[in-house]
Structure 1
Amino acid sequence: MADRPRIAITPGEPAGIGPELVNALGDAFPDARLVAIGNPDQLQASDHLEVLPVHPAAPVTPGQLDPRNAGYVLETLRLAVEGCQQGHFQAMVTGPVHKGVINEAGHPFSGHTEYLAELTDAPMPVMMLAAGSLRVALATTHLPLRAVADAITPARLRTILRILDHDLRRFYAIERPHILVAGLNPHAGESGHMGREEIDTINPVLEALRAAGLHLTGPLPADTLFTPARLEGTDAVLAMYHDQGLPVLKHVGFGHAVNITLGLPIIRTSVDHGTALDLAGQGVADSGSLHAAIREAIDMARAGR
């Protein structure tokens, strides 16, 4: 098991491209044992893929959402988390889900990150996406823009930066991670003329954590933070909100980027794309991001054991 970690894969929304991406994996990962948790009518067990069967409540038609199967999607996630907690799996990789249809079915669900944190009693999960050497973590995730400033508190920033520093050391063998921190406002507030969050909240936290030994640079204007010269020698970027950091990351790496949840007691990676209902069932979906997510999970499992 130490040489071949066992990785749970949840295909996600059954009417989306997730199941066919899992079936397309083939023998790409001889150094791991892959276990897909989901509908056996959609998943093809093989020498390289085991299937832990979970049956949807309603028949599945590619491209057509059915709220009756929302509970099935959540059950696959629950089983993967339970398996990781009990040591049956060393990591879990999640396919794309459709938040809207899960909510339509009456299940409160704002995203994988928040749901997995609830299942594992993790107080502060951290969403980080990676594409090659670029890693972007988020101080806030799925919030309306008008709620972001109030959510960025000193306690939240301290916790997130400590988790980011800790997990970069643990899972990426970085001795002293260098983290760039974006400001919230244009020009990082421009000395208070465009907002005081940098002065009142962000900078005091950074100064305190630098004194505790963390290698932090910022707060920096987000519009110049992602230039090659600034990123040189950087291990991760902390963006203040979803659409501040992720458009850059996805421009660089869409199709082979990985979504990683830090701050959990388990390892979880995911694809960087959605359910692509318009492509489902046609056999044309690109499995590059799923491959990258599985490779990341395998490497993290080995580094973190």
Structure 2
Amino acid sequence: MKGDNLTIWNFFFLEGFSRYPKLEIVLFVFSLVMYLITLLGNSTLILITILDSRLHTPMYLFLGNLSFMDICYTSASIPTLLVNLLSSQKTIIFPGCVVQMYLSLAMGSTECVLLAVMAYDRYVAICNPLRYPIIMSRQVCVRLASVSWLTGCLTALVETSFALQVPLCGNLIDHFTCEILAVLKLACTRSLLMDMIMLVISVLLLPIPMLLICISYVFILSTILRISSAEGRSKAFSTCGAHLTVVILYYGAALSMYLKPSSSNSQEIDKIISLLYGVLTPMLNPIIYSLRNKEVKDAVKKLVDTLSSYQTHGSF
């Protein structure tokens, strides 16, 4: 359906990986397994942070928010991908495309800010341990988490709103999701305003939080190296290692997608990066934190024991 100044499509075709039909079943199995593990792992992490009083600390408050974000982010795109991988009609209606675009932008942007907040939390915990309970009070932590969500949701609203005003001269999206860069490639004319908005928000949400994380870890490493006890250094490294691993995975994929020249990689490589970024990273987050954290392991074991005991008593 076309207007005078704006082209509005009732639905879009998602090309996805249709150029490789033999790989679609493999990709379906891979994506389904990763998605189910993501749901299970992150849901478990949220559940134990709520039920286990030992995990009612700033670190796990932020980690619970991160897990919820990962569930929302993957649920915005992966179910559509799974349906389209098995379908000959790889379509998505216009409202669904808008919701998908907004949620992926909102969750991704919120995570950028939250990872910087988590780095600050680790900085205070290691560099100012005596003042940590005062600086990172529950009220402060809730405010920091709220600011992360507000920043991500508002920037996503701005990007989505302006993207919807760009006239599109086609409805075939060369992607498996309504990713904003892929949608804007359908624009009839290049919008300088949209380019500037994308650039400013990308700089605000990628390099700046990354710089703050790097500064935090310079102070953290400097403090750790001054710890005389080998056991103390090992514990400090273990505390920060999980977060640093997640940061590298997340920002590595995000920077490669949003801060590169458009001609440097083919669209096929962009789709592969996006799939790994959208499925693999959210799946690995709870695993990384669980494997490197004794408190999480103990909480999971306690939850499993409780569920087993409940099932045993229920069977009688």
Task: Note whether the superposition's TM-score is higher than 0.5.
Answer: no
Give the helix-richer structure, 1 or 2: 2
Q: How high is the TM-score relative to the length of structure 1?
A: 0.26
Give the strand-richer structure, 1 or 2: 1
Larger Cα-atom Rg: 2
Q: How high is the TM-score relative to the length of structure 2?
A: 0.25
